[in-house]
Structure 1
Amino acid sequence: MHRLSASGQRDAEVAPELGTGRHLGRPAPRIPACHEIDKLRGRPEKVGDVTVKVHLNSLGQPSSVARVTDERRMNSLGWLQLLASLPRAVKVLLVARFVNRIGAFSMPFLAVLLVQEVEASTVLAGTVMAAFGVATIPSRLLGGVLAQRVATRHAVAVGLLGTAAAQGLIASASSVAMALVGAVLLGLFFEIYEPASQALIADTTPDALLPRTYGLFGATLACAGLAAGTIAALVGQIGLRWLFVVDAATATACAALVIGLMPRSTRSTAPSATRTRSAWGDRRLWSLMLTGTAFATVYLTVPMAMPLALIDAGHHPSVAGWLEALSALVVIAAQPLLSGRPAAARRMVVGYAAIAAGLATAAAAPTLAGYAAATLVMSVGDALLLGYSLTLVARIAPAGSTAAYFAAYGLTWGVALILGPPAMGYLIGIGPPTFWSACAIVMVCTGAATAVIVRRLARATTRGRGGVG
């Protein structure tokens, strides 16, 4: 990834430079409809205490230089100003997902629950996790359909309530077969609310605020993760099954908040059948999905492997909860330091490098102290990458097709859950250092591939293809 110069003007950051089918609106005092974009052409607009002048290209889209300049100026807004500028539906979503995330710590412990309490092998436990991953694929697709056909609050509520019921089944499982049924049902509901949530942010948030809004979304989940890790460490001492009980309770509470507070009319714009198919025919999306799958495979299997690695190191698996809390604390603490938004290319490269370095640290020192150090380094990488993958997807999605694009991109996590757990079970069986080393290699390769892909996307934009070709 690199910085591009546009006609002698100030260098543009790669991620903000990617084209978009979405129009730029004014973040405050309200968000204008797309048809009002013509009113913005060449006029200074007031956003809080910042004046933004919008320049449009021949396609009626914000130009690359204008988007970068606007985004840098938006970054001067404080977090409270940013939150105040967001629509009510997004604010409700932030609060609801915070509540849900407080209890969302059970899945990393499913493998160790199967090994310790159901007496399954690590390979069999990985297979059950893979079945969960297979089930998340139709879950994502169903979520995309629901986001376009029904109100967002209904799509989110269906996913959360189904998730709670499945977690209750896993908590009471007395055999591998029963746990397998619970894992499959959990997968079928687990991803339904994601396309609706992500598309809601993309459809209602001004383009220049997208990175910070998705970053705020991630930071909110990190704040809840701090509490979640602490609860997991405490509840896990009582019994691993109680982790799923608490998770089911917070999912139910989240659904109640969404149903009670989210505006009834909120939904993602329903695209035509042609636009829905265009998500699968968009080569830019496929390239992002390729690197996204590799990243997700590592990102998802690391917390699954940590309890097993801690057992191998002679510690109780619930210690993983404290490491999760430490990770969340680092991500939260890093946000003010990163509020200036250094160059996107530099952030992404350093982010991938930090995660790879943390994984290498875990491989070199498979002890509690080593895992704590690895968690610190990987969390810095997480903070640097926060929000950018979703921003890239939102910016290449044509207007009205954001839910379809997010549903397609979200399949990377389902594929990762199919590929990752069996590989994790096999590599952990050889030894934790083998697993951590393999993950570090994958992350280095993924970072390099991401640099190449984003560079090509940026070049396509500067050659005038408008980001929609």
Structure 2
Amino acid sequence: MRSVRGWVKDTTGGLPTTFWYLWTGTLINRLGSFILVFLAIYLTTARGFSAVEAGLVIGLYGAGGTVGTLTGGILADRWGRRPTLLTAHIGAASMMLALGFARGLWVIAAGALLLGMFAEAARPAFAAMMVDVVPDRDRLRAFSLNYWAINLGFACAAILAGFAAQVSYELLFLVDATTTLITAAVIFLKVREPHRTYVPSAPVPGTRARGGLLDVLGDRVFLGFVLINIFTALVFLQHISMLPIAMGADGLAPSTYGTVIALNGILIVAGQLFVPRLIRGRSRSHVLALAAVITGVGFGLTAFADAAWFYALTVLTWTLGEMLNSPSNSTLIAELSKPGMRGRYQGVFSLSWSLAGFSAPILGGLVREHLGDSTLWLGCAAIGLAIAVAHLISGPARERRAVELKRLANEAESRRTPTPTPGPLAASQAA
């Protein structure tokens, strides 16, 4: 019993109050995250779109996210984390309601584009605020706890959405919009704009001090990491676009997909809080490489799945890779970002997910339609192996960059903090 209490204290103790409000908002928002989970099924069943048309609409969500992440990152640094989050959540809730009542391919496509823009604008502001309020020593725990909340909400949402869809698809959009507005209310009432330490744009190896977003785009080490994540996301996001279509082709009901995909969240909820202790002190590059291999194998196994239990096995496999990937990714992004430009760095990194969100459903739909399911899923396995090799090659340069940026941040903080002046007693003793 003492060991359990000690583990809980080590996992959750000492984190700032603002973090817990952000964590609560995340959980509430994810409890109603119905739309993306069931968008492919909604488009192909309720609206009668083909797999390619559904992929196009989901892709346009990603295209809107591309604009949203960059805009959100810039606004988070210039305008502030809190106002950016509030605007993004209110805008996203409004577009969810509009999309739920839209009819026609191009009207729905335009709604998905705008929804993606607002929804993804919140991502860099939220991540930057997390880094601002949580000390470096606690970030692995904080990101793991937040990821745990995301998946607790996702697991519940996937199961509930499967049954809600059988009642009314419009109900999915209504609940999602409501939980998004509640999250905005939590931020408005309980979260203040954090203090930020600004680091001069002194160049570090591999970068040029150009100012603003150009600094980020000139950071070759960071952009290499972003490029690797694009391929990771291309594989991972197939579970939203092509996996429900593949299960439907095997005669499985939407509620079965909801139950199977909920296993992803359930496994993370059950095991994610143990991951920080498991990977603490280990090479992040090795952890990320292992995560890529496991993820690739999980998606590759989908080529042979034809029953609910087999699909469940594939989900459980790639979820293990996701559990290793997420906390290592989050802490590394924080360490590769200059404190004065965290919003921009988070925005550019989020851009990798938005680009993949646009490309993954379209590419997945084209490959599935012209080359077949087996080629799609075995191709995902091959990409996973290539990602693992890329992490092993690029890892040392990333770690050197993280050390250099931490040194610059410490120097900037020491210059900001005045040196105490010795009193008369200390001066007389020194004399």
Query: TM-score, structure 2 length as denominator?
Result: 0.84
Asked if structure 1 preserves the Cα contact closer than 8 Å seen for 2:287 and 2:328, the reply is: no
CA RMSD of aligned residues (A): 2.5
2: CA distance between counterparts of 1:296 and 1:79?
Answer: 32
Q: Aligned pair 1:352/2:292, yes or no?
A: yes
Match of 2:194 among 246, 266, 271: 266
Asked if structure 2 preserves the Cα contact closer than 8 Å seen for 1:103 and 1:228, the reply is: yes
Aligned residue for 2:117, secondary structure, equals helix
Aligned pairs for 1:106-117 within 5 A: 106-117=35-46
Aligned residue for 1:266, secondary structure, equals coil
Matching residue's letter, 1:423: L
Q: Aligned pair 1:237/2:166, yes or no?
A: yes
Cα displacement (A) at 1:390: 1.8
Q: Deviations over 1:133-170 (max 9, x none)?
A: 11111211221122123342221111111111111122
Asked if structure 2 preserves the Cα contact closer than 8 Å seen for 1:200 and 1:268, the reply is: no
2: CA distance between counterparts of 1:177 and 1:401?
Answer: 37
1:416 corresponds in structure 2 to 356
Q: Aligned pair 1:389/2:325, yes or no?
A: no
Cα displacement (A) at 1:102: 0.7
2: CA distance between counterparts of 1:250 and 1:232?
Answer: 14
Q: Deviations over 1:46-85 (max 9, x none)?
A: xxxxxxxxxxxxxxxxxxxxxxxxxxxxxx9744455342
Asked if structure 1 preserves the Cα contact closer than 8 Å seen for 2:95 and 2:111, the reply is: yes
Compared CA separation, residues 261 and 371, structure 1 to 2 (3 A): same
Aligned residue for 1:318, secondary structure, equals helix
Aligned residue for 1:387, secondary structure, equals helix
Compare 81-90 and 284-293 and name the one that shifted more.
Answer: 81-90
Q: Deviations over 1:277-316 (max 9, x none)?
A: 3111111111111101111112222222222111111011
After the TM superposition, list the runs of 4 or more consecutive aligned residues in structure 1 that deviate by more than 6 angstroms.
270-273, 464-468
2: CA distance between counterparts of 1:112 and 1:427?
Answer: 19
Asked if structure 1 preserves the Cα contact closer than 8 Å seen for 2:96 and 2:174, the reply is: yes
Compare 90-99 and 443-452 and name the one that shifted more.
Answer: 443-452
2:423 corresponds in structure 1 to none
Asked if structure 1 preserves the Cα contact closer than 8 Å seen for 2:57 and 2:109, the reply is: yes
Asked if structure 1 preserves the Cα contact closer than 8 Å seen for 2:140 and 2:327, the reply is: yes
1:445 corresponds in structure 2 to 386
Cα displacement (A) at 1:267: 6.3
Aligned pairs for 1:284-299 within 5 A: 284-299=221-236
Cα displacement (A) at 1:211: 1.9
Compared CA separation, residues 236 and 432, structure 1 to 2 (3 A): farther
1:322 corresponds in structure 2 to 259
2: CA distance between counterparts of 1:196 and 1:347?
Answer: 27
Asked if structure 1 preserves the Cα contact closer than 8 Å seen for 2:230 and 2:355, the reply is: yes
Q: Aligned pair 1:137/2:66, yes or no?
A: yes
Match of 1:249 among 157, 175, 178: 178
Unpaired runs of 5+ residues, structure 1, are 1-75
2: CA distance between counterparts of 1:360 and 1:269?
Answer: 44
1: CA distance between counterparts of 2:332 and 2:14?
Answer: 21
2: CA distance between counterparts of 1:193 and 1:466?
Answer: 26
Aligned pairs for 1:13-32 within 5 A: none
2: CA distance between counterparts of 1:193 and 1:267?
Answer: 19
Compared CA separation, residues 191 and 137, structure 1 to 2 (3 A): same
Q: Deviations over 1:392-441 (max 9, x none)?
A: 11101122111111011111011112211111112332543332222222
Aligned residue for 1:341, secondary structure, equals helix
2: CA distance between counterparts of 1:325 and 1:404?
Answer: 33
Aligned residue for 1:274, secondary structure, equals coil
Compared CA separation, residues 299 and 142, structure 1 to 2 (3 A): same
Match of 1:206 among 135, 139, 149: 135
Q: Deviations over 1:369-412 (max 9, x none)?
A: 21011011111111122221121111011221111110111110
Aligned residue for 2:67, secondary structure, equals helix
Q: Deviations over 1:322-347 (max 9, x none)?
A: 12221111112223543423324443
Q: Aligned pair 1:168/2:75, yes or no?
A: no
2: CA distance between counterparts of 1:316 and 1:86?
Answer: 42
1:400 corresponds in structure 2 to 340
1: CA distance between counterparts of 2:274 and 2:145?
Answer: 14
Please identify which structure carries the higher helix content. 2
1: CA distance between counterparts of 2:73 and 2:401?
Answer: 28
Matching residue's letter, 1:113: Y
1: CA distance between counterparts of 2:74 and 2:398?
Answer: 28
1:182 corresponds in structure 2 to 111
Q: Deviations over 1:179-201 (max 9, x none)?
A: 11210110120111111111111
Q: Aligned pair 1:154/2:83, yes or no?
A: yes
Compared CA separation, residues 366 and 467, structure 1 to 2 (3 A): farther
Q: Aligned pair 1:283/2:227, yes or no?
A: no
Unpaired runs of 5+ residues, structure 2, are 202-209, 409-431
Asked if structure 2 preserves the Cα contact closer than 8 Å seen for 1:366 and 1:432, the reply is: no
Compared CA separation, residues 149 and 435, structure 1 to 2 (3 A): same
Compared CA separation, residues 192 and 460, structure 1 to 2 (3 A): closer
Asked if structure 2 preserves the Cα contact closer than 8 Å seen for 1:360 and 1:436, the reply is: yes
Compare 408-417 and 425-434 and name the one that shifted more.
Answer: 425-434
Cα displacement (A) at 1:275: 4.8
Q: Deviations over 1:98-138 (max 9, x none)?
A: 10011113113222222222222211221122222111112
2: CA distance between counterparts of 1:241 and 1:439?
Answer: 33
Asked if structure 2 preserves the Cα contact closer than 8 Å seen for 1:148 and 1:267, the reply is: no
Aligned residue for 1:191, secondary structure, equals helix
1:305 corresponds in structure 2 to 242
